[in-house]
Amino acid sequence: MFLATSRYTNIATSTFTLPDGRIISYVQRRFLPDSETLTTLTEYQVTQGDRLDNITARYLGDPEQFWRICDANAIMQPTSLTDETHIGQRIRIPLPQGG
């Protein structure tokens, strides 16, 4: 259902049957991993104008893997890692493994 690089690859799916008999498939809830259990590749200091997709492409080789950096920093909102209030802060870049 999902690409191997998707954050949802290993998440179970379920179905719900509507009263009219139609079946709706959905992905069950994804829980964030404990960020302390993820191995850090490096840390990056946020500068003005940074974008998470560019940082991800640089360190993980694929801008669509931004969710791995969010997981490593226990962040639900990706833009909050590089917004103006976080300039100068360091963010963890995890090893590009796991799902």
For the chain, list the domains and their CATH numbers: 1-31 (no CATH), 33-94 (3.10.350.10)
Comparing 66 with 97, the larger pLDDT belongs to 66
For the chain, the distance separating the N- and C-terminal CA atoms, rounded to the nearest angstrom, is 15
pLDDT at 49 over 80: yes
Residue range 73-88: mean pLDDT, rounded: 91
Angstrom distances, CA of residue 13 to CA of 4, 6, 10, 48? 15, 14, 9, 40
pLDDT band at 10 (very low <50, low <70, confident <90, very high): confident
1: number of Cβ within 10 Å = 9
- Give mean pLDDT, residues 29-58: 92
pTM of the model: 0.78
